[in-house]
Amino acid sequence: MELIEDIKTMQKISRVKARENKSIGFVPTMGYLHQGHLQLVEKAVEENEIVVVSIFVNPTQFGPEEDYDEYPRDLERDLDLLRERNVDYVFYPAVEEVFPEGYATYVQVEKGTDVLCGRSRPNHFRGVTTIVTKLFNMVKPHRAYFGQKDGQQLLIIRRITADLNMDIEVVAGPTVREEGGLAMSSRNKYLSSEEREAALVINRTLRKASKWIEDGERDGWEIKKKMEKEIKNEPLATLDYASVVSRENLQELGEIKGPIMIAIAAYIGSTRLIDNVWLEVD
Amino acid sequence: MELIEDIKTMQKISRVKARENKSIGFVPTMGYLHQGHLQLVEKAVEENEIVVVSIFVNPTQFGPEEDYDEYPRDLERDLDLLRERNVDYVFYPAVEEVFPEGYATYVQVEKGTDVLCGRSRPNHFRGVTTIVTKLFNMVKPHRAYFGQKDGQQLLIIRRITADLNMDIEVVAGPTVREEGGLAMSSRNKYLSSEEREAALVINRTLRKASKWIEDGERDGWEIKKKMEKEIKNEPLATLDYASVVSRENLQELGEIKGPIMIAIAAYIGSTRLIDNVWLEVD
């Protein structure tokens, strides 16, 4: 396994591998890897001849009041985990090289980015779509792997790859959960044991909502109201949103139908957590 | 020479050529080719093993009141001109495939796009940077060729390729001029013979401004004022702007120094024409 810090070196490696007709699988991460990341990595290793994992905590997707500085980092541990899984290259560029002085270009999706997480995190998805476009140009993968846990992000990345004609297959990996159903996230590290218990309300509520829909409920506003009530009943939780949206355009649904995502974001103590479930509804 | 209309086919050809280690030169155009385009094409043929020329009149870079519908088109003539120059592929995608329903992603440069042409054409550069990013992902060139006549566009495209880490060399070709100095442009077709005569004022004024600077003038506002006066003295001309800007950030200069661009845009009758000169000033 090789650690690459220089952007031009990464591009050169990818150019050479493409010329050798080797498929490149790419897993972009912000590091502090958990089972969710590692399952994506294992899938990438299975499906490609060369695997690149990037570790880059992207400042442009954090708001000014958010946890960019405190975001957990542990490069040595991450490298060990990736070496064990036979990753070929870990790409670890410096912030100053990725966003040099005078930087001015942004990739922006103008639909579906001002709802759900985009409402409470105004420039978040602009930061995500910009760094993903940049990383794709640095790594030039054939396939790129993203977790379903960040469901809105996954749908928005599918949108930019289609819209900008990127010749890259976006592969989704299922959300990996701790016992009790809590979605794995690097931010779970912030939780006290009491908060960890309280955080289970998020996934429990999503499972209840799925059940209500399975049982025949088709009124999106009704489901939303009942989910909100569940979250508000948990004293350590503060609701950000609970929504039933179309996976096609991320708009909230009055009548539940088609490919949908049920999504919740809530603060548990001061930690913001998200989770979602995807359903196909007749 | 092969005419390619399908995006996926274009990508596949480029993938195969890259694998064969062939360099791809790309000249994006809106068609209705003139000597300015053709010199870029000849340069691309000289410098690359494979040359792709795209012809696509991009709706997203025209304002609602602009000449998208009337923009001159002549595919057969263009194809003949390109065949004579040994172009390998002409890429001619349909608007509906390039911007399908639900299209939502834009590439935007947040500095230097609201000045000069960006002031009177508010979404113009957003349209240009978006289509260029898309075309680059479709054609995957090693080198891309742009004319210096669209000076601000050239500088903005250099900015997005650097900012988004596109692994592409942007090559500039000099402005080609008709007798008398009028910069070649597909829009010159709109001019009556009287207007064509009047249009010479643009380049004549740029040459005068260069001379003033060569003679020692370093006051940008003074040069601007004198250029404005020259344009206003031509009865058929209506000034849009006359500016002396830094090529680094496209901001107007009080003190002229470093790599500069002197740029003019003016309506001659109802046709908007632009031209510019680049200087290095000690």
pLDDT tens, position by position, B42-89:
999 999 999 999 999 999 999 999 999 999 999 999 999 999 999 999
Q: Kindly provide the b/e burial profile for residues B89-103, where b requires at least 16 CB atoms within 10 angstroms of the residue's own CB.
A: bbbbbeeeebbeeee
pLDDT score at A102? 93
Q: Are residues B102 and B131 in the same domain?
A: yes
% of chain B surpassing 90 pLDDT? 100
- DSSP for residue A216: T
In a domain? residue A226: yes
Residues B134 and B213 in one domain: no
State ipTM.
Answer: 0.96
What pLDDT shows up at residue A184?
A: 97
CA-based nearest distance A11→chain B, Å: 7
- Kindly determine whether residue A105 and residue B104, on different chains, have CB atoms separated by under 8 Å: no
Q: Determine, yes or no, domain membership for A180.
A: no
Q: Does residue A193 belong to any structural domain of this protein?
A: yes
Nearest to B165 among A15, A102, A137 (CB): A137
Measured between beta carbons, which residues in chain B are less than 8 angstroms from residue A167? 11, 15, 137, 140
Closest to A91 measured CA to CA, from A132, A44, A145, A55: A55
Quote the minimal CA–CA distance from A168 to chain B in Å: 10
Among all residues of chain A, which has the CA nearest to that of B158? A105
User: What range does the domain containing B117 cover?
Assistant: 2-173
Q: Are residues B231 and B165 in the same domain?
A: no
Is this model's pTM higher than 0.95 or not?
yes
Say what the pLDDT of residue B33 is: 98
Cβ-defined contact of A106 to B108 (cutoff 8 Å):
yes
Domain end (from B173, B195, B213): B173
Q: Which residue of A has its CA nearest to B112?
A: A104
Contact assignment for B19 to A19 by CB distance below 8 Å: yes
- What is the mean pLDDT of the segment spanning B156-179? 97
Cross-chain Cβ contact B105/A109 below 8 Å? yes
Q: Are residues B202 and B231 in the same domain?
A: yes
pLDDT for A274 equals 98
Burial B38-61 (b: 16+ CB within 10 A, else e): bbbbbbbbeebebbbbbbbbbebb
In a domain, B154, yes or no: yes
Interface residue of A54, A163, A247 to substitute, partner B, most B CBs within 10 Å: A163
Residue A178 domain-assigned? no
- What pLDDT shows up at residue A88? 98
* In a shared domain, residues A47 and A101: yes
Q: Is B124 a catalytic residue?
A: no
**Do A52 and A99 sit in the same domain of this protein?**
yes
The DSSP result for chain B, as a single string, is -EEE--HHHHHHHHHHHHHTT--EEEEEE-SS--HHHHHHHHHHHHH-SEEEEEE---GGGS-TTSSTTTS---HHHHHHHHHHTT-SEEE---HHHHS-TT--EEEEE-SSSSSTHHHHSTTHHHHHHHHHHHHHHHH--SEEEEETTSHHHHHHHHHHHHHTT---EEEEEPPPB-TTSPBP-GGGGG--HHHHHHHHHHHHHHHHHHHHHHTT--BHHHHHHHHHHHHHTSTTEEEEEEEEEETTT--B-SB--EEEEEEEEEEETTEEEEEEEEEEE-
> Is residue B43 domain-shared with residue B155, that is, in the same domain?
yes
Residue A3: the pLDDT is 98
Assess whether A116 and A165 both reside in one domain.
yes
User: Do A106 and A150 fall into the same domain?
Assistant: yes
**Tally of structural domains, chain B:** 2
Looking at the structure, tell me whether residues B12 and B131 fall in a common domain. Answer: yes
**A113 to chain B: nearest residue by CA?**
B104
Nearest to A182 by CA among A149, A136, A214: A149
Quote the pLDDT of residue A77. 98
Residues from chain B contacting residue A108 (CB–CB below 8 Å) = 105-108
* Cβ-contact B277, B242 below 8 angstroms: no
Query: Minimal Cα distance from A132: which residue of B?
Result: B164
Query: Residue B218: its pLDDT value, please?
Result: 98
Residue B236 lies in a domain: yes
Chains A–B, number of C-beta pairs less than 8 Å apart:
85
Domain shared by B141 and B263, yes or no: no
pLDDT at B103: 97
The answer to whether residue A234 sits within a structural domain is: yes
pLDDT for the residue B23: 97
Considering B173, B204, B235, which residue would you say is the last residue of a domain? B173
**What pLDDT, in 10s, does the model give residues B29-44?**
999 999 999 999 999 9
Block means of pLDDT (10 residues each) for chain A, length 282 residues?
98 95 97 98 98 98 95 97 98 98 96 94 96 98 98 98 98 96 96 98 98 98 98 98 96 97 98 98 94
Where does a domain end: B151, B173, B195? B173
| pLDDT (average), residues B132-137 | 98
- Residue A9 C-alpha, separation from nearest chain B C-alpha, in angstroms: 11
> In this structure, are B60 and B140 located in the same domain?
yes
Check residue A82 and give its pLDDT.
98
Across the interface, of A11, A104, A107, the residue whose CB is closest to B167 is A11
A125 in a structural domain: yes
Q: In the prediction, which pLDDT does B258 show? A: 97
Instruction: Report the CATH number at residue B47.
Output: 3.40.50.620
Look over chain B and give the mean of its residue pLDDT values, rounded to a whole number: 97
Residue B213 belongs to domain with CATH number: 3.30.1300.10
CB contact under 8 A, A104 and B159: yes
* Torsion angle, alpha carbons of B212, B218, B224, B230, to 10: -10
